[in-house]
Structures are given as C-alpha cells and as structure tokens.
Structure 1
C-alpha cells in the first residue's frame, strides 16, 4: 500500500502521530499525555499507511537569535519518527522534504532540530551549528574568585512557579543561538516535573526589582540521599540574562547544604564558570556534543539577518538539492548581502553553510575537512573574519 503524507488535524490523528514518535524513539517512556496540549495546530505532519499513522514530523513557530542579536523566523523541528515496521521506505525523506517546503511557504528563514541520530539530517541540508557540554562542580573545592560579581537577590519559587514567570524571563534571551520556547515546550516540562516523584527546585534571580535569571534543579538518587558518599544536584535549566544574574545563581547553587556535586546538564562551550573559580579542577567539563542542527531555508534572508565582523568581502556559491531557490552566488560584506554573478571565492552545500552560519564552526576547519571548494587562496581567511562571533553559539533548549 502506498504512503500518504498529510497534515494531522484532528486530536485523534495528533495523538496517533505522537505515539508513533514515542514508539520510534524506543528509550522514551510512554505517558498518558494529550499531545494536543504539546503541539501547535497546523504544523504536525503524518505519514499514513491506509488508516494507520506510521510516521510523523512536527515543528513549532519560533525565533532564533543570530550574530548581532537579530531574531529570525524559525521552525523548531521535533517529534520525527517512523514505526520500526515501516523503516527503509523513504518515509523520513518524504516527511522532512514536505516539511521544508511548508516552512519555506510560511516565510520562516531557518529551521533547527536536535538529532537522535547524527547521520540522518545532513542530507536534508542541516549542519551542526552549535555544541554543548555538561559539567560537574565539586563543592568541597569550588570557591568563586573575589572579583566575581555579587549578584542580586535570589528567591525560592518552588511551590509557586508558573510558565508565565519563567517564560517572562526567558523571552528576553539575546545570546547567539537562543530560540523561542513555545507554549508546548513549557507545558511538557511542567507535566514531567509534576509526574516526577523527585522534587524539582526553582530559584529566580532579581536585580533592581527586575527578574533576570532562574535555575531549575533536582537531587539525584534520593532513596540513598543521607547515606550516599556523593550527593549530587543536577541543574536542568539555567538562564541568566547578564553577568550579575549568572554569578548570583552560581552563588546560590555552590552554597547548597548537604550537596557534594552540582552537575549542569548543558553549558556553552565557552562558559566562564571554569574561569570564575579559584580551583580550576573543581569544575570537570564533559565532552562536547552536537546541539543545534541548523537548516537555512531562505539563504539570502538568513545571510542578510546576521552581523559580520570584517570589512572584507567574500563571494560564496551555495548548492541546495532540496530548495533550489537557494542555489546561487552571494556577495557578503559587513555592509550588504546580495546575489551576484561574480566568480565565487568559495563553493559549499547548504549544510556546510549552516554549520558556519552562527560562528560556531570556522571556515578553515570546514575547508581542512574537504567540505569547501576554494577558488581564491585568501577566501577562507576572509570568510573566517566575516563570520566570526564574540561568543560560541548555544541554545540551551532541548525539544
């Protein structure tokens, strides 16, 4: 029987698509959830084998912060899965290609996702644009340096936390790589915390009467908490809008009683915490791993949206096998981005351009890996100067 790709519109279809996603991921627990609370109407795609939904791909309306601080229209892609009985039939390809056309039709400039497998999405034009790392801080050895900002007021909001409170803080996120967190994202987090027998603690930082940061954390292995040789608290969400808020939240976490280790699920690759402690070895960083898989849906609009760090110019020729409107040559400088007929300095596919777009991957590294065709000896250096960013891109949001 042929596979039909279509929108999932009724509550029954949306929940069927979400069950397909949970089944396909294997390691995710089945929960009694109403997926209509977690999804956005009109964005859930399904693959139907007769009357049975066998594959799905979803997305949220969002924004992405690019170098320079602009927010570009963004599709946050999620809930991609195919039943194991229907693998190797081109269903993922059909869903993602249809989704990209829909995203382009909506005028969304970029899309991004978190990949369950690293070999799937590059063929659809996605490139790794940001990475992240975990960290473990041993509290017996961790002391902040005297010059670290004092921070402001930290208050406990465990029993009164609402989506509006935390989202009101997060909506001001301005770091490169940050994305909008839609209602469904917040709702799922709330449901999971309420269903967890382990307590989740929430603290909010305030400076001058204005909330400007928060942290959510939970203790691990509470069954043996008082007899454990190492009591660990895991920070699952850490948002700081400025240096003072970051330092104030650090001071709260590093001063927790009965705790030996504070573990952070995700930090930027250039996070300053290791530089802020007297004993550098008190902060053990985990390995870097891919975070944002980015797809430039409208290459010209994306290139125009971000800021550039050099007065030099480079012409990049882009090939896009799925969205041919992106094919072409782009002259890029700090003053303007425009299509051109000039000879290219560099030639890349759209996934490689996405990897470099936020400044998280250097052009010289991509060239050394054989992912860039270089037509001008100085072009890679000029591209690196143009696309440089003051900070490593980081989203800090799993979806």
Structure 2
C-alpha cells in the first residue's frame, strides 16, 4: 500500500503521530502527554499507511539569530520518527521533502533540528552548524578570579517559576545560534519537570532590578545524597544575557552548600568559564558534540540576512538536490549578496554551506576535507574571512 504524507489535523491524529515518535525514540518518558499541548496547529505532518499513522515530522515557528544579530524566520524541526515496522521504505525522505517544501512556501529562510543519529540528515541538506560540550566543575577548587564581574542579585523562584518569567528573559537572547523557544517547547519542559521525582531548582539573576539571566539545576543520586563522596548538581538550562549575569549565576552555583561538583549539560565551545577560575583544572570539559543541524531553505535570503567580514567578494556555487530553486552561483561580499552568472570560485552542496553559515566551521577545514570544489585557491582564504565570527555559535536549546 502506498504511503500518504499530509498534515495531521485532529487531536486524535496529532496524538497518534506523537505516539509514533515516542515508539520510534524508545526511551522518552512522555507516554501520557496530550500532544496538542506541545505542538503547533498545522505544522505536524504524518505518514499514513492506509488509516494507520506510521511516521511523523513536526516543526515549530521560530527565529534564529545569525551573525550580525538579525533574527531570521526559522522552522525548529522536531518529533521525527517512523515505526520499526515501516523502516527502510523511504518514509522519512518523503516526510522531510514535504516538510521542506512547506517551510519554503511559508517564507522561513532556515530550518534546524537536533539529530538523534548523526548519519540521517546530511542527505536532506542539513549540516552541523553549532557544537557544544559538557563541563564538570570541582566546587572546592573553583575559585573565581578577582577580575570576574561581581554580578547582580539572585532570587530563588523554585515554587513560583512560570514559563512566562523564564521566556521573558530568554526571549532577549542575541547570541549567534540562539533560537526562539516556542510555547510548545516551554510546555514540554514544564511537563518533564513535573514528571521528574527530583526537585528542579530555579534561580533568576537581576542587574539593577532587571532580570537578565537564570539557571535551572537538579541534584543527582538523591537516594545516596548525604553519604555520597561526590554530591553533584546538574545544570540543565543556563541563560545569561550579560557578562554580569553569567558571573552572578556562577557565583551562586559555586557557593552552594553540600555540593562537590556542578555539572553543565551543555556549554558553547568558547564559553568563558575555564578562563574565569584561578585553577584551570577545576573545570573538566567533555568532548565536543554536534548541537544544531541547520538547513538553508532559501539560500539567497539566508545569505543576505547575515553580516560578512571586510574582504573581497567570492562567487560561491551552491547545489541543492531537494530544493532546486537554490541552485546557482552567489556573489558574496561584505555589503552585497546577489545571484550571478559569473563562474564560481568555489562550489559546495547546501549541507556544506549550512555547516559554515553561522561561522562554526571554517571553510579551509571543509576544503581540506574535500567538501569544497575549489576552482580558485585564493578564494578559500577570502571566504574564510567573509564568514569569520567573533564567537562560536551556540543554541543551548534541545527540541
């Protein structure tokens, strides 16, 4: 029987699609969730084998901060899964192809996702655009340097925390790679916290009366907490809009009584934390891992939206098998992006361009790996300078 791909429209269909996603992922503890509370109407696609939903792909309306600070229209892709009985039939390919066409028709320049497996999405034009790593801080050794800003004030909001409070802070995010966290995302985080028997502690930072950061953390191994030789709290969400907020939240975490280790789930690769302590070895960094997989849905609009360095222009040829309207040559300079009939200096597929778009992957590394067809060797240096950024892109949001 052929597979039909279409939007899921009724609550029953949305919940059935979400159950397919949960079954495909195996390890997610959300069995009793009403999926209509955490999805956005009209964006959830289902793959149907007759009357049975056997695959799904969802997305949220969002924005993405790109180099230069612009927020571009963005689809946050999530809830992608296929039942084990229907794998290897091209269902994911049909879902993603339909989703990309819908996203393009809706005027969103880019899409991104967090991949459950690292070998699925490049063939659909996605590239790893941001990476992150974990960190473990030995509290007894982690003395902040005297030069670190003192920070402002903190308040405990464990019992009074609301999504509106936290979103009011996060919505001001301006670092490259940040995405808008939609209402469904906030509702899902609330459901996960409420379902967890372990308490989540929430602390808000303010500078001169203005909220500018927050941290959410939880204790590990509560059954053996008082006898454990290494009492650990894990930071699950850390948002700081300013250096002052970041420092103030560090001071709170590293002054907690009864805590030996503060573990951060995810930090930017160039996070300042290792440089802020006197004893560099008090901070142990985990291995870098892929964070955001990015897809340029409208290449020309996405390129026009970001800023570029002061360097001579290059002509970049782009090839896109799924969205052929992106195929073409683009002249990219510090003040101008335009399609051109000129011969390309470099040629890439759209996934490779996505990897370099936010500045997290250098063009010379991509060229060294054979992922760039180089027609003019000097152009590699120029495009590296054009795409260079001051800090590593980072999302800090799993969806």
**TM category, shorter:** over 0.9
1:89 counterpart residue number: 89
CA distance in 1, matches of 2:42, 2:193: 27
* Number of residues of Structure 1 aligned to a counterpart in Structure 2: 399
2:227 pairs with 1:216:
no
Deviation string, structure 1 residues 111-155 (Cα, Å, up to 9, x no partner): 000000111100000000000000000011110000000000000
For residue 26 of structure 1, what is the aligned residue in structure 2?
A: 26
Q: CA deviation at 1:31?
A: 2.2
Q: What's the counterpart of residue 192 of structure 1? A: 192
Query: Which position in structure 1 is the counterpart of 2:139?
Result: 139
**Deviation per residue, 1:282-316 (Å, 9 max, x gap):** 00000000000000000000000000112321110
Q: Which residue matches 2:335?
A: 335
- TM-score after normalising by structure 2: 0.99
Q: CA RMSD in A?
A: 0.5
Pairing 1:385–2:369 present: no
Distance 2:31 2:219 in 1: 23
Structure 1 runs not aligned, ≥5 long = none
| Cα distance in 2 between the residues matched to 1:353 and 1:310 | 19
Structure 1 residue 339 displacement after superposition: 0.4
Deviation at 1:30, TM superposition (A): 4.2
Q: Does 1:52 align with 2:52?
A: yes
Structure 1: how far apart are the matches of 2:267 and 2:49? 42
Correspondence for 1:148: 148
User: CA–CA distance in 2 between the matches of 1:127 and 1:133?
Assistant: 18
Give the distance between the partners of 2:5 and 2:247, measured in 1 at CA.
49
Q: 1:178 & 1:335 partners in 2: Cα distance? A: 24
1:69: how far off?
Answer: 0.2
Equivalent residue, structure 2, for 1:305: 305
Partner in structure 1 of residue 320 of structure 2: 320
Report if the CA contact (8 A) 2:206-2:245 is conserved.
yes
Find the aligned partners of 1:363 and 1:60 in 2 and give their Cα distance: 30
Aligned partners of 2:352 and 2:104: how far apart in 1?
A: 19
Gaps of 5+ in 2: none
Give the match for residue 248 of structure 1: 248
Aligned to 1:356: 356
Runs of 4 or more above 3 Å deviation: none
* Partner Cα separation in structure 2 for residue 31 and residue 19 of structure 1: 8
Matched, 1:65 2:65: yes
Deviations 1:81-119 (A, max 9, x none): 000000011100000000000000000000000000111
CA distance in 1, matches of 2:44, 2:378: 45
Task: Provide the rounded CA distance (Å) in 1 between the counterparts of 2:51 and 2:353.
Answer: 40
Worse overlay, 263-272 or 188-197: 188-197
SS in 2 for 1:120: coil
C-alpha deviations, 1:258-285, integer Å up to 9, x for none? 0000000000000000000000000000
Match of 2:126 in 1: 126
Matches within 5 A, 1:201-280: 201-280=201-280
Aligned to 2:288: 288
d(CA) in 2 for partners of 1:168 and 1:336? 35
Measured in 1, the distance between the counterparts of 2:375 and 2:307 equals 24
Provide the C-alpha distance between the structure 2 equivalents of 1:120 and 1:202, rounded to a whole number of angstroms.
36
Other structure's SS at 1:188 match: helix
TM-score with structure 1 setting the length: 0.99
Partner residue, 1:113: 113
1:76 paired to 2:92: no
User: Aligned partners of 1:142, 1:25: CA distance in 2, in Å?
Assistant: 38
Distance in structure 2 (CA, Å) of the matches to 1:33 and 1:71:
31
Shift of 1:194: 1.1
- CA deviation digits over 1:38-74, x for unaligned, max 9? 0000000000011110000000000000000000000
Residue aligning to 1:2: 2
